Amino acid sequence: MLAASGILAREVIARCQELAGFSEDVGSTRRTFLSPPMRDCHREIATWMEPLGAKVTIDAAGNLHGLYPANAAHAPHLLIGSHLDTVPHAGAYDGVLGVVVAIAVLEGLGARRLPFAIEVIGFSEEEGVRFGAPFIGSRALVGGLDEDLLGRRDRQGVSVRRAIENFGLNPEELAQAAIKDNTLAYLEFHIEQGPVLEKLGQPLASVEAIAGQSRAQFVFLGRANHAGTTPMNLRYDAIAGAAEWISSVEISAQNIAGLVATVGQIEAKPGAANVIAGEARLSLDVRHRSDQVRGKAVAELTHRAEEIAQRRRLSLETRTLIDQPSVLMDQYLVGQIEAAIRKCGCEVHRMVSGAGHDAMVLAAKIPAAMIFLRTVDGVSHDPAESVKIEDVAKAIECGVALLDQLAASPEFQKRMHRA
């Protein structure tokens, strides 16, 4: 398997690079929900899966399904996959690698059939680029596409419902995309999108949880005035108050283990070089594995903003945009993943994902777990995004070992009988 996994790993990287060429933009990769390049992506993936004996279909939400049969009829299904959409100016591996590695794992089985069918899934949308709503693809599997979401429109005025129709699919059949009762679990291979594994010198990690996320908007309101004629002690400078608060966000986050807090957007009005800002509008993104720690941090940062505004004679407006709870991965599956990682000759590292993934959506309905691959230099969502061939080979070995473990596991057999 060692030599074979190296060959398969090179093929995985070549395939990811090939899919990166299916793009809405010339010279860079951008593939959003049900855009024309997604059709090319589906067609190419089908040519890889059908020779393995897998039946490839597209559901009403545009998710690709490749069903690799079991060794018996009417067997339950194990889902393995990730997403096929990208951010603008993307790299070649975020999301896509998880789908292509899943196919390589099937190839690594050498035509063997297991007691459960393996359903490779390529989600149509995870990033939320086109409609500002993430996880459209995986939400379809858990029955989470309501009329409000289907009515959302992109910048061209096209609704989600219309986008589905324009792709040749029927939104009235969305209910048929839901997870079936015989679905055992969901596994997702994904690049780490961060520098932890590279710092540790480890190719793989098991993901024990996906961090909860708070996102909010803060608006400091002062008084715009002439920059040259208003003394410093008579100013109501919104951007100065915002700057002080931004520094306090960084300092506070550094003092709480595992917490990350980011001010990623700032807009000053009126936005002229010779005018004191009367308004400063900022974003806040806070993440932690503990919802209690995250909630306390957001409350403290909000209180800090209020103190700064009061001292500087400003007013403050706040609005919560997202309050996403943390999601624990299935601990039995996490343990099986770690056993497979050891079997591949790697040390086990367990970590929390700071980014959201389709796994957290599916975890509401079925057991879910994730395997991270080392990201070179921790770079993601950028054309410089890359992975090492040897890490991909280890991921394939891990995947094959994991499937064999599950097939032989008494606990998994119990789950199969209940499905």
pLDDT given for residue 414 in this prediction = 86
Closest CA to 122 of 82, 87, 77: 82
**Confidence bin at 416 (pLDDT 50/70/90):** confident
- Are 333 and 312 in a shared domain? no
CB 87 within 8 A of CB 96: no
Out of 219-223, 329-333, 412-416, least confident range:
412-416
pLDDT given for residue 54 in this prediction = 98
pLDDT surpasses 90 at 207 = yes
- Are 305 and 411 in a shared domain? no
- Are 77 and 194 in a shared domain? yes
- Are 98 and 223 in a shared domain? no
| Beta-ladder partners of 190 | 372
Closest CA to 136 of 188, 186, 83: 83
**Confidence bin at 418 (pLDDT 50/70/90):** confident
Closest CA to 70 of 183, 234, 179, 164: 183
Provide the mean pLDDT of the chain.
96
pLDDT surpasses 80 at 1 = no
Tokens of 297: 């941090």
How confident is the model over 374-383, as pLDDT tens digits? 999 999 999 9
Q: For residues 179 and 241, give the distance between their C-alpha atoms in angstroms, rounded to a whole number.
A: 49
Q: What is the residue range of 69's domain?
A: 2-211+326-418
How confident is the model over 306-360, as pLDDT tens digits? 999 999 999 999 999 989 999 999 999 999 999 999 999 999 999 999 999 999 9
Single residue among 295, 323, 351 that ends a domain in this structure? 323
- Are 192 and 253 in a shared domain? no
CATH code of residue 159: 3.40.630.10
Residues in the chain: 419
**Confidence bin at 2 (pLDDT 50/70/90):** low
pLDDT given for residue 413 in this prediction = 87
Residue for token pair 């899943």: 102
| Beta-ladder partners of 77 | 117, 183
HEC states along 376-402? HHHCCCCCCCCCCHHHHHHHHHHHHHH
pLDDT given for residue 78 in this prediction = 98
Single residue among 288, 323, 358 that ends a domain in this structure? 323
How confident is the model over 116-133, as pLDDT tens digits? 999 999 999 999 999 988
How confident is the model over 163-202, as pLDDT tens digits? 999 999 999 999 999 999 999 999 999 999 999 999 999 9
- Are 242 and 288 in a shared domain? yes
Burial (CB < 10 A; 0-12, 13-18, 19+), residue 98, is buried
**Confidence bin at 162 (pLDDT 50/70/90):** very high
How confident is the model over 90-107, as pLDDT tens digits? 999 999 999 999 999 999
Q: For residues 256 and 293, give the distance between their C-alpha atoms in angstroms, rounded to a whole number.
A: 9
- Are 265 and 348 in a shared domain? no
pLDDT surpasses 80 at 419 = no
Which helix (H) or strand (E) is 147 found in, with range?
helix 147-150
How confident is the model over 27-68, as pLDDT tens digits? 999 999 999 999 999 999 999 999 999 999 999 999 999 999
Encoded amino acid at 326, one letter = S
- Are 145 and 49 in a shared domain? yes
Task: Kindly tell me the sign of the dihedral angle through the C-alpha atoms of 185, 42, 124, 103.
Answer: positive
- Are 275 and 330 in a shared domain? no
pLDDT given for residue 83 in this prediction = 98
How many independent structural domains does the chain possess?
Answer: 2
Encoded amino acid at 175, one letter = A
Which helix (H) or strand (E) is 320 found in, with range?
strand 315-324
- Are 56 and 195 in a shared domain? yes
SS3 state of residue 298: helix
- Are 39 and 151 in a shared domain? yes
How confident is the model over 249-301, as pLDDT tens digits? 999 999 999 999 999 999 999 999 999 999 999 999 999 999 999 999 999 99
Single residue among 284, 308, 323 that ends a domain in this structure? 323
CATH code of residue 314: 3.30.70.360
- Are 286 and 346 in a shared domain? no
